Structure 1
Amino acid sequence: MAAARDRVIHLLRQLHRASCRCPAHSHTYSQAPSSQITTDYAFEMAVSSIRYGEGVTKEVGMDLQNMGARNVCVMTDKNLASLPPVQAVIDSLTKSGIKFCLYDKVRVEPTDASFMDAIQFARSRSFDAYVGVGGGSAMDTCKVANLYACNPDSDFLDFVNAPIGKGEPVTATLKPLIAVPTTSGTGSETTGIAVFDYEKLKAKTGIASRAIKPTLGLIDPEHTLYMPERVAANSGFDVLCHSLESYTAIPYNMRSPRPTNPINRPAYQGSNPISDVWAKHALRIVAKYLKRAVKNPDDREARFSMHLASSFAGIGFGNAGVHLCHGMSYPIAGLVKKYRAKDYKVDHPIVPHGLSVVLTSPAVFSFTAAMCPERHLEAAEILGADVRTAKIKDAGLILADTLRKLLFDLNVDDGLAAVGYSTADIPALVKGTLPQERVTKLSPRPHSEEDLSKLFEASMKIY
């Protein structure tokens, strides 16, 4: 293990010496060791309390009662508002005598404008607890509403990740928040992450702080039975990439700079021994159950297992982080033109998050494998590849081919071209990726703008 780590450090130093030193590009190599940069020496695990069980949503009213809540905000989207998961929450609150207000204007794939609407709703009332019911969009919106309601004098960009926002640490104590996930992808019930489209830049960014993670995640697998096929598939791809990216991210003790104060240690810290366990376990579940969960919505074992896998991967990536697939996905989602994904009942063009992430995965892992080939080869084996006679230098190609086969079997659109992009869009896609340093700097392989261009070009078609 030590020899492999030394080889990675040696390769990073070689790349750093050979890299472009001009100001426009040098920031992309901030993860490379050097005598002027002090890398971190510690990692921190932060995760919400989670409770799993069929029908466990009925306990939410008692939980809020135990917390002393008297005036609760319930956040969801219009599609879910009339479905059993939200009704189960409302029934439980009513039974426990909890006063609540329902906010059902959550936007699927939130924007800064939709976040601000939820923030104003929360600030206009004196809520003492929050419940987010839905996919990542609902849970993230609820986190942000709680954050800014407890910081009434803060401007919106104060807590947004740098360089788009100020990335200020959260010091205020937030209200209790219970997350009830209804999809099996984001793992948002476990993390201190909230992602949104920043419309001014037409790219996604987010807020990352341990302070905004839910107090409790109620993981009720019965809710997954209401996911349409494509929602199940795209949610599962998010679990897949969370696992792969966190496992192959730069090691925590090679990330820089070292924080001067623990409060400034980022939520995304790099791969570490604890996150590795959760990432690999989630990947094994994906390998066994994702196809079944997509192709047969009545397969309770598969759907329920993927719901747990989402949380497992959330524990992993919520502390290790993700890298290029996610960094490149943000402009793919943000610059969407006319594409409307099947099974998503929205009134706007949308490339769902999980789809925008997975479309670049074959190209990305072909590119990053040179830096930690053993991990890429291990991931390919977990996903079903026969690696008994594989050469370590082929790890990236083997993992990429394994991913292509999985995507083909699940009828995924054939690359970025199939969701409305062409080579003419590559400069804009690269431009939208550059501000995503919070995640891209965790890539195990340093990269330039030219590298990103080639990755987007290679992702135009994937079969």
Structure 2
Amino acid sequence: MSANLTQTVIAMDLVPFRFGPGATADVTVELERLGARRVLLVTDRHLRQHGLVEPVEAAILRAGAEVVVFDQVHIEPTDRSLRDAIAFAQRVQPDAYVSLGGGSTIDTAKAMNLFTSYPADLFDYINKPVGRGNPVPGPLKPHLALPTTAGTGSETTAVIALELTDRRLKTGISHRFIRPTMAIVDPLNTVTCPPMVTAFAGLDVLCHAIESYTAKPYHVRPRPDSPTERPAYIGSNPVADLWSAQAIRWGARYLRRAVYNPLDLEARTFMALASLTAGIGFGNAGVHIPHAMSYPIAGLVRDFFPPNYEVDEPLIPHGLAVVVGAPAGLRFTAPAWPERHAEVAEMLGIDTRGLPVRAAAEAVADALIQLMRDLGLPSGLAELGFTESDIPALVEGTLAQQRILVNSPRPVDERALRAIYREAMRYW
């Protein structure tokens, strides 16, 4: 890093997108434009029974391309599941990818594309300090991403999230070349999403947007020696703020409706928009403490089985793992940038008139707790099976996420994380 120099450049790589009911049909023309002839369709085996896979297969065939289907995506990608998926892709050698599913599916397709284009050991690209953090050598093959949940924003981001099974630790791979070539967001593909899947995904949207809006600003971060060394997450900035702020407003307004009335197409549409815009915002600015906490929370699960998920092993879905730490994490960061947190409170619909700025800032945590209660979520980490004795392991796993923690507007260390985790054990 350049000594005593801070960043002055806002760098935004924006994924082109097609949005709206019926957008799935655009797969055909986009594959024709790309000249694709052998397409690997990455999807979730459960989506076929909901009638979502066949229209995409048909759209690929109309483009004159051969379609090969991989439908063995793990519900939360692991090093083992990704190695199996990568081996499949290396046998197929497609010239384009289409992913249809939630964030796990889209991230799996990203990994298949990366390691087929530039074969390497998995740890070569995993972020430091867990992996070697090598840069991606060059552009990948075309990838059209079609989300079926309104949550992860993976269709717009430069990140692959995965769990290291033996270490019970979640980590990631990030580089701007990993972003899909295009996002095709059709709200109709989310209508069959069950209520709690909708809730957890939507809460991930809100946390993405809130964390990116409150992230340490780009202009106080060290300037890299070369533009090529600029991280995918550069910190909050005026451009990303536009996307993040609107995502917060839409999420606050429409998430409850989408959960309690799954056929509310207006709510589904605006939650899909919120997911897309939050993905653009945080994919540039980055997230911080709640997402750093989510990795060990998900990785250290013991016996929690989420409702509405077809799983045969314990699982803490990503959105739940994020939001369960968010109130405590954001209460910790509020004093560092109270004005920005107070703005978030207003976006969440809180009447902050007459409140001191510090009180308005801390109201963000209270609003998230109320939203968790309204949606019927667990009351904290204790209800997910954690105890005070787990805090050291949770803290250790969080401290390993330095690429995310560097975005926190307030420096966080082991002592601070211990206090945050104690608060997150039970909110009500």
Q: TM-score range by the shorter chain?
A: over 0.9
Percent identity between the aligned chains?
47
SS at match of 2:40: strand
Which of residues 29, 39, 42 is equivalent to 1:62?
29
1:7-406, aligned counterparts within 5 Å?
Answer: 37-152=4-119, 154-256=120-222, 258-406=223-371
1:217-246 superposed Cα distances (whole Å, 9 cap, x missing partner)? 110010111100001100000000001000
Rate the CA distance shift 1:84–1:37 in 2: closer, same or farther, 3 A: farther
**What is the number of equivalent residue pairs in this alignment?**
428
Structure 1: which 4+ aligned runs deviate by more than 6 Å? none
> What TM-score do the two structures reach when normalised by structure 1?
0.90
Deviation at 1:41, TM superposition (A): 2.1
SS at match of 1:66: helix
Which of residues 402, 405, 415 is equivalent to 1:450?
415
SS at match of 1:369: helix
Deviation at 1:383, TM superposition (A): 0.9
- The 2-side partners of 1:315 and 1:456 are apart by 29
- The 1-side partners of 2:417 and 2:4 are apart by 25
Deviation at 1:62, TM superposition (A): 2.6
- The 1-side partners of 2:21 and 2:385 are apart by 40
Segments of 5+ residues of structure 2 without an aligned counterpart are none
CA RMSD of aligned residues (A): 1.4
- The 2-side partners of 1:192 and 1:143 are apart by 9
Worse overlay, 64-73 or 175-184: 64-73
Q: Is the 8 A contact 2:20 2:269 kept in 1?
A: no
SS at match of 1:330: helix
1:82-140 superposed Cα distances (whole Å, 9 cap, x missing partner)? 33221110111223331011000110111011111111111112210001110000000
> What letter is aligned with 2:168?
K
Q: Is the 8 A contact 1:169 1:263 kept in 2?
A: no
> What letter is aligned with 1:323?
H
- The 2-side partners of 1:151 and 1:54 are apart by 35
Q: Is the 8 A contact 2:168 2:296 kept in 1?
A: yes
- The 2-side partners of 1:229 and 1:147 are apart by 33
- The 2-side partners of 1:166 and 1:222 are apart by 40
> What letter is aligned with 2:150?
S
> What TM-score do the two structures reach when normalised by structure 2?
0.98
Q: Is the 8 A contact 1:362 1:401 kept in 2?
A: yes
Deviation at 1:268, TM superposition (A): 0.6
> What letter is aligned with 1:230?
M
> What letter is aligned with 1:182?
T
Which of residues 359, 370, 374 is equivalent to 1:409?
374
- The 1-side partners of 2:193 and 2:227 are apart by 40
Q: Is the 8 A contact 2:248 2:348 kept in 1?
A: yes
Deviation at 1:56, TM superposition (A): 1.4
Segments of 5+ residues of structure 1 without an aligned counterpart are 1-29
Deviation at 1:457, TM superposition (A): 0.7
Structure-1 residue corresponding to 2:427: 462
- The 2-side partners of 1:92 and 1:399 are apart by 43
Q: Is the 8 A contact 1:61 1:98 kept in 2?
A: no
- The 2-side partners of 1:309 and 1:214 are apart by 18
Q: Is the 8 A contact 1:283 1:383 kept in 2?
A: yes
1:187-230 superposed Cα distances (whole Å, 9 cap, x missing partner)? 11111111011123211111111101011111001011110000
SS at match of 1:370: helix
SS at match of 2:170: strand
SS at match of 2:378: coil
> What letter is aligned with 2:103?
G
Q: Is the 8 A contact 1:201 1:432 kept in 2?
A: no
Q: Is the 8 A contact 2:340 2:361 kept in 1?
A: no
Deviation at 1:36, TM superposition (A): 5.5
SS at match of 1:444: coil
Deviation at 1:37, TM superposition (A): 5.0
Q: Is the 8 A contact 1:359 1:462 kept in 2?
A: no
- The 1-side partners of 2:321 and 2:69 are apart by 30
